[in-house]
Amino acid sequence: MCEGIMSLTDPTILSDAELADRIAILRDNIRQITEQAASQSGAADEERNADRLAQQSEDLDLLLKEQERRLNK
């Protein structure tokens, strides 16, 4: 999983291919976090997974907005 390297401040610098790749990676990360959360128990695990899921979702939303902006040009 590529957690941590996905933090973006300016997705406009990415090529269309890079943008699509990062969107795919984030979707896979979210899927993996969800699977891990289902198999783990404990408040600490739940909080950690919730934090990771929130960050990945935020990054994905940012990239999807950029992709939508490009499609509507």
Classify residue 54: in a domain, yes or no. Answer: yes
| Rounded Cα gap, residues 72 and 34, in angstroms | 31
Q: 């979702």: which residue's tokens?
A: 57
Give domain status of residue 1, yes or no.
Answer: no
In a domain? residue 26: yes
The answer to whether the beta carbons of residues 14 and 51 sit under 8 Å apart is no
Domain that holds residue 24: 16-71
- Indicate the number of domains in the chain: 1
25 occurs within a structural domain? yes
Q: Is residue 62 situated within a structural domain?
A: yes
Residue 9: inside a domain: no
What's the rounded mean pLDDT across residues 4-18?
Answer: 79
pTM of the model: 0.81
pLDDT value, residue 2: 47
Per residue in 14-71, pLDDT (tens digit) is 999 999 999 999 999 999 999 988 888 788 888 999 999 999 999 999 999 999 999 9
**Distance in angstroms between the alpha carbons of the first and the last residue of the chain:** 32
Instruction: Please give the Cα distance from 52 to 55 (Å, whole number).
Output: 5
pLDDT value of residue 43? 81
Q: Tell me how far CA of residue 1 lies from CA of 14, 43, 69, in angstroms.
A: 20, 22, 27
Task: Name the one residue in this structure whose structure tokens are 């899927």.
Answer: 31
pLDDT of residue 7: 54
In a domain, residue 7? The reply is no
